[in-house]
Amino acid sequence: MKFNLKSMAYASVLALALGVSATQADETCMSPYMAKIVGQEDFVYVWTLGEEGLGDEQDKLVTISVNPSAPDYGTVIETLSVGGRNEAHHSGLTDDRHYLWAGGLDSNKIFIFDVHSDPAKPTLFKTIDDFVAKSGGVVGPHTFYALAGRIMITGLSNNADHGGRTALVEYTNTGDYIATHWMPTDDNLQGAIKSGQFADGYGYDLRAMPRRNAMFTSSFTGWNNYMMDFGTMLQDPEAMKRFGNTAVVWDLHTRKPKKVFDMPGAPLEIRCAWKPENNYCFTTTALTSQIWLMYEDEEGEWQAQAVGDIGDPSKIPLPVDISITADDNGLWVQTFMDGKARYFDVSDPFAPKQTYEKVIGSQLNMISQSWDGKRAYFTSSLLDNWDKKGEADEQFFKSYTWNGEELNLEFEIDFKAEKLGSAHQMRFGAYGLYGMERPWEAAAAAVNKSDKSSDLAAQ
Amino acid sequence: MLRLPISVLVSTLLLVSTEIVIDGFVTITHAQQAKQAAIRLASGDHKEGYESPQYQTDSLSLEVRSGVEANLFAIVNTAQFGLPKKAEGRFLEPSEPAIKLGRKLFFDRRLSRNKTMSCAMCHIPEQGFTNNELQRPIGFEGRAIKRNAPTILNVVYYQRLFADARENRLEQQVWGPLLASNEMNNPSVGQVIDTLAQLPEYPKLFEDAFGEMPNMLNVGQALAQYQQALLAGNSRFDQWRYGRQQDVLNAEEKEGFALFAGKAQCSSCHIVGDEYALFTDQALHDTGVGYQVSMRPETTTISVQLAPGVVGQLDKSVVDSVGEDKPNDVGRYEVTLDPADRWKYRTASLRNIALTAPYMHNGTFASLESVVRFYNAGGVPHDGQSALIRPLGLSADEQAALVAFMRTLTGSNVGELVADAFAAPIGDTSSTSR
């Protein structure tokens, strides 16, 4: 093993168990600070891009019933339009899971939804319109990551040149601005070590590993590129130079960058292992189609290395979202261009092996797997102007079961036919998180109780 | 305090401000000098050599992007070597409050429909007041703009505006981007006026500058007042040619100018006069660049830079699957509908050309070297191509000399103008709603 097995004690996480799960699987890609649930989720909230000429044309939060025991299973039960096309992208829950923060990469608005008062019917609690002004010029709020009582937001761009230099922005759970933490650049590494050739100041995703006091960020591209027509951008040599080639490990507590890694080709999503002895995180590079590992070596130093290819990198399959399994042994990798979900055995994190793949649609971006790994949900949209054109621009939510060998489709929702828009980020909800009974179970229980009472009365 | 000799023709005006006194010398504070010297006249996101595996970043933090306000009123009233007198341009009578107002408007992102685009998002100060990072900028919701963003340095000297010369005054031109659906996407003039009237800081600024609330005319005038103050002459070339300072240019640069005005015939269109040089004939020409894009078959394989030193080859069909149809561009014809105007574009000034890559109306050339290679090869021969475009027979050394000459055309005060722009507040939404 190349990473440190003598880890510190596994930091305790807020755990709120729902139902019973033999696997004790975690919500595999969420913050360890977050209340987590095991068992059956009731809802998937889909942060959805409005499409010009489709339905009400606005971004919206779409709530889908996903509990097979629910009477409305497999249907859209609620939509909440927020006004405008903000380039809806990612969303994240607060540590107490009371609020869902969802950002617009274009308008820079942040919509804070109340998902705890009635998990089946989220409401808009607050809209942050002044993210750019408050943060000192950060554009493109991307990842919303729960820390203790706080939300850490990664930016993608800035209001000076709409390029890729950006920052992390910290807010309270209730939406008050706290601080801006700029990404390290050559002229101001902020004490970080530039380990290779690059320190570009770009940002994208963020994950924390509290047990190692570590936080990790990756790097994508600025507003100019993520808002541009994908095909046009691929043919613009100047634009193609404006992608991130770095990942950064930070001191979680002080919010100071410690080391900048070279990671050529736009490293995107970061997923950290859960087991206390597994001090490593995966990411994948969108343009160079590689799996990278950031790991702590035997000296306690963080290192990074490419550990495998995804598909045929020469064909640019464009790996996008990834998801680690709760036992750290598997990694789902979605490739946008060929619409494939790929499963990698990462039991040896230094030697991932692809063991399964399935075409989910003509294009594919996000995955969210259930706490126990038995269910996986997929959505189609990458970015409004990057999605495929014409008939290939399928927009869907698809629910699969995973038996360890095969993905089986349970139901799907055509977001175009439903006049909803382009389906993007998914987050889970459940009644039990908030001490609520599922209405249909409560109703059934009431009927049973009534029946028993009747029976007793009859006796 | 430092006293620095200035190499400009000082006007008869004695200009006094809190920051700068012009009486044959420019007097600036150490702090100002330090800020101006620290400004890199290029993107802070350095990408030179990105094609090579040896590429290294040299990035600047955005926090250093702070500047010092310049006396733009003084600049617009001061003659500079190489630039014509004001009468040659389409100047409004300079007004200090109007310049300040125009400067604020220029950097205000709230002037677009969804509050994300200001003029400065495409005319980025440190990138030559253009955009070095894209061939063609994008606008509202990422919509395509089919032409390269031109620099606005010295823009007041153009007799016609836009690459197809469809507009004739700056104060009118500004409404083009403000209302274009693929740029700032404002639905109407009234919407812009109402927005300004409702922002608390603007009514007083308009009252101070124009004695009235914002309207269609004074919004245009204010933006024009700022842009006409962005005068950047007194380049090393100007000091050599018009200031008679023989040692300012080296031998290669002088040879480059000789070629420019001689064998290469560049000055046929990029005119250099005896008293000043705008480097444009203000006319429109078909150089072959536009024709090539519209008429020549497209390549079947696209080379894509994936990372430093890493290039991929994508089948065109794959690129097309994620791309909108490229908007066609027939140049001046789109204004006149005259077939004789197909693929004609206005001759761009070459002033500050080293700062304004990529080049041509569509940003197709990344470097000055590639521009010179194109003209040396004679363009793209076809019916309608300007007779002035023909093979030049320039050697490699001669082409290098031409490029060296063009690099002498950067105005001596560009740093001051960029520092001033950095000092301008960027307008962003400052409210939160529940």
Burial class (CB in 10 A: 0-12, 13-18, 19+), A357: middle
Contact between B45 and A165 using a beta-carbon 8 Å cutoff: yes
Residues B351 and B193: their CA atoms lie apart, in Å, by: 34
Residues B116 and B357: their CA atoms lie apart, in Å, by: 24
Nearest CA in chain A to B108: A159
Contact list in A for residue B304 (CB cut-off 8 A) is 234-235, 240, 316
Question: Domain holding A111: CATH number?
Answer: 2.130.10.10
Residue A33 lies in a domain: no
Burial class (CB in 10 A: 0-12, 13-18, 19+), B190: exposed
Does B134 share its domain with B279?
no
Q: Measured between CB atoms, does B104 come within 8 Å of chain A?
A: no
Count how many domains chain B has. 2
Whether the Cβ atoms of residue A97 and residue A433 lie closer than 8 Å to each other: yes
Q: What pLDDT, on the 0 to 100 scale, is given for residue B36?
A: 62
Count how many domains chain A has. 1
Residues A221 and A240: their CA atoms lie apart, in Å, by: 9
8-state DSSP, A9: P
- State the Cα angle at B272 between B270 and B274, rounded to 5°: 165
Contact between B302 and A235 using a beta-carbon 8 Å cutoff: yes
Q: For tokens 């027979």, name the residue.
A: B393
Does B191 share its domain with B281?
no
Does B223 share its domain with B334?
no
Interface of A with B in 305-324 (CB under 8 A): 313-314, 316
Whether the Cβ atoms of residue B256 and residue B406 lie closer than 8 Å to each other: yes
List alpha helices for B322-359, DSSP H: 333-336
Q: What pLDDT, on the 0 to 100 scale, is given for residue A452?
A: 75
Interface of B with A in 257-296 (CB under 8 A): none
pLDDT tens digits for range A244-288: 999 999 999 999 999 999 999 999 999 999 999 999 999 999 999
Interface of B with A in 180-219 (CB under 8 A): none
Picking from A337, A406, A338, A331, the residue whose alpha carbon sits closest to that of residue A369 is A331
Q: Measured between CB atoms, does A392 come within 8 Å of chain B?
A: yes
Residues B252 and B249: their CA atoms lie apart, in Å, by: 8
Helices (H) and strands (E) in chain A, counts: 4, 31
Evaluate the CA torsion angle B217, B220, B222, B228 in order and state its sign: negative
Residue B317 lies in a domain: no
Burial class (CB in 10 A: 0-12, 13-18, 19+), B397: exposed
Whether the Cβ atoms of residue B409 and residue B151 lie closer than 8 Å to each other: no
Contact list in B for residue A199 (CB cut-off 8 A) is 57, 59
Name the CA dihedral angle for B426, B121, B421, B149, rounded to a multiple of 10 degrees. -160
Its ipTM equals 0.91
Burial B360-389 (b: 16+ CB within 10 A, else e): bbbbbbbebeebbebbbeebbeeeebbeeb
Q: Which helix (H) or strand (E) holds B376?
A: helix B368-376
Q: How many CB pairs under 8 A join A and B?
A: 219
Contact between A242 and B358 using a beta-carbon 8 Å cutoff: no
Does B208 share its domain with B65?
yes
Q: For tokens 């889909």, name the residue.
A: A46
Residues A153 and A170: their CA atoms lie apart, in Å, by: 6
Residue B156 lies in a domain: yes
Residues A170 and A145: their CA atoms lie apart, in Å, by: 10
Contact list in B for residue A164 (CB cut-off 8 A) is 45
Residues A425 and A92: their CA atoms lie apart, in Å, by: 9
Residues B357 and A102: their CA atoms lie apart, in Å, by: 37
Contact list in A for residue B319 (CB cut-off 8 A) is 231, 234-235
Nearest CA to CA, how far is A26 from chain B (Å)? 33
Residue B162 lies in a domain: yes
pLDDT tens digits for range A189-235: 999 999 999 999 999 999 999 999 999 999 999 999 999 999 999 99
Question: Could you tell me the two tokens for A111?
Answer: 């919509």
Interface of A with B in 68-107 (CB under 8 A): 84-87, 106-107
Residues A261 and A245: their CA atoms lie apart, in Å, by: 8
Evaluate the CA torsion angle B50, B53, B58, B62 in order and state its sign: positive
**What's at A235, amino acid-wise?**
Q
Residues B330 and A116: their CA atoms lie apart, in Å, by: 57
CB atoms within 10 A of CB A20: 8
Helix B189-198, helix B216-228: angle, nearest 10: 80
Residue by residue, pLDDT tens for chain A (459 residues) are 343 433 333 333 333 333 323 223 236 778 989 877 778 999 999 999 999 999 999 999 999 999 999 999 999 999 999 999 999 999 999 999 999 999 999 999 999 999 999 999 999 999 999 999 999 999 999 999 999 999 999 999 999 999 999 999 999 999 999 999 999 999 999 999 999 999 999 999 999 999 999 999 999 999 999 999 999 999 999 999 999 999 999 999 999 999 999 999 999 999 999 999 999 999 999 999 999 999 999 999 999 999 999 999 999 999 999 999 999 999 999 999 999 999 999 999 999 999 999 999 999 999 999 888 999 999 999 999 999 999 999 999 999 999 999 999 999 999 999 999 999 999 999 999 999 999 999 998 888 887 777 766 665
CB atoms within 10 A of CB A55: 17
Interface of B with A in 342-361 (CB under 8 A): 358
Contact list in B for residue A137 (CB cut-off 8 A) is 62, 426, 428
Whether the Cβ atoms of residue B157 and residue B347 lie closer than 8 Å to each other: no
CA B156 to chain centre: 12
Mutate to test the interface with B, among A162, A202, A289 (most CBs of B within 10 A): A162
Nearest CA to CA, how far is B129 from chain A (Å)? 11
The residues, ordered by sequence, that sit 6+ positions from B77 with a Cβ below 8 Å of its Cβ are B11, B13, B15, B94
pTM: 0.92
8-state DSSP, A238: T
Residue B305 lies in a domain: no
Contact list in B for residue A245 (CB cut-off 8 A) is 57, 307-308
Residue B218 lies in a domain: yes
Contact list in A for residue B133 (CB cut-off 8 A) is 161, 163, 224, 238-239, 241-242
Contact list in A for residue B329 (CB cut-off 8 A) is none
Residue B318 lies in a domain: no
Whether the Cβ atoms of residue A425 and residue A89 lie closer than 8 Å to each other: yes
Question: Domain holding B187: CATH number?
Answer: 1.10.760.10
Considering only the beta carbons, identify the residue of A158, A237, A288 that sits closest to B310.
A288
Name the 3-class secondary structure at A81: strand
Burial B54-81 (b: 16+ CB within 10 A, else e): ebbbbbbbbebbebbbbbbbbbbbbbbb
Residues A103 and B14: their CA atoms lie apart, in Å, by: 53
Does B215 share its domain with B285?
no
Does B68 share its domain with B132?
yes
Residues A342 and A331: their CA atoms lie apart, in Å, by: 8
Whether the Cβ atoms of residue A337 and residue A350 lie closer than 8 Å to each other: no
Picking from B66, B17, B19, B13, the residue whose alpha carbon sits closest to that of residue B38 is B66
Nearest CA in chain B to A315: B314
Does B250 share its domain with B350?
yes
Domain that holds residue B194: 2-233+412-423
Does B365 share its domain with B418?
no
Residue B304 lies in a domain: no
Residues A106 and B117: their CA atoms lie apart, in Å, by: 10
8-state DSSP, A202: B
Contact list in A for residue B142 (CB cut-off 8 A) is 87, 106, 226-229, 384-385
Contact list in B for residue A107 (CB cut-off 8 A) is 114-116
A193-194 and A256-262 beta bridge pairing: parallel
Nearest CA in chain B to A188: B61
Q: What pLDDT, on the 0 to 100 scale, is given for residue B308?
A: 98
Q: What secondary structure does DSSP assign to A314-353, as a single string?
A: GG---EEEEEE-TTSSEEEEEETTTTEEEEEE-SSTTS-E
Residues B356 and A238: their CA atoms lie apart, in Å, by: 13
Contact between B314 and A234 using a beta-carbon 8 Å cutoff: yes
Contact between B43 and A163 using a beta-carbon 8 Å cutoff: yes
Nearest CA to CA, how far is B81 from chain A (Å)? 31
Picking from B157, B27, B179, the residue whose alpha carbon sits closest to that of residue B112 is B179
8-state DSSP, A371: T
Residues A234 and B314: their CA atoms lie apart, in Å, by: 9
Residues A276 and B355: their CA atoms lie apart, in Å, by: 53
Helices (H) and strands (E) in chain B, counts: 16, 8
Residue B316 lies in a domain: no
Burial class (CB in 10 A: 0-12, 13-18, 19+), A405: exposed
Does B250 share its domain with B116?
no
Does B398 share its domain with B419?
no
Q: Measured between CB atoms, does B57 come within 8 Å of chain A?
A: yes
Domain that holds residue A380: 43-458
Name the β-bridge partners of A375.
Answer: A401
pLDDT tens digits for range A419-456: 999 999 999 999 999 999 999 999 988 888 877 777 66
Contact list in B for residue A235 (CB cut-off 8 A) is 302, 304, 319, 323
Residue A322 lies in a domain: yes
Regions of chain B short of the pLDDT cut 70: 1-38, 431-434
Contact between A126 and B58 using a beta-carbon 8 Å cutoff: no
Whether the Cβ atoms of residue B103 and residue B72 lie closer than 8 Å to each other: yes
Nearest CA in chain B to A236: B135
Question: Could you tell me the two tokens for A136?
Answer: 């000192």
Interface of A with B in 333-362 (CB under 8 A): 337
CB atoms within 10 A of CB B311: 12
Does B168 share its domain with B275?
no
Considering only the beta carbons, identify the residue of B45, B324, B434 that sits closest to A229.
B324
Residues B71 and B224: their CA atoms lie apart, in Å, by: 16
Q: Measured between CB atoms, does B24 come within 8 Å of chain A?
A: no
Nearest CA in chain B to A175: B432
Whether the Cβ atoms of residue A72 and residue A65 lie closer than 8 Å to each other: yes
Contact between A175 and B432 using a beta-carbon 8 Å cutoff: yes
Does B387 share its domain with B418?
no
Question: Which parts of A50-83 are beta strand (E)?
Answer: 60-65, 76-81
Question: Could you tell me the two tokens for A101?
Answer: 């923060």
Residues B352 and B386: their CA atoms lie apart, in Å, by: 25
Q: What secondary structure does DSSP assign to B104-142, as a single string?
A: HHHTBGGGSTTS---GGGTSBGGGTTB-TT-SS-B-GGG
Residues A93 and A99: their CA atoms lie apart, in Å, by: 6
Residue A3 lies in a domain: no
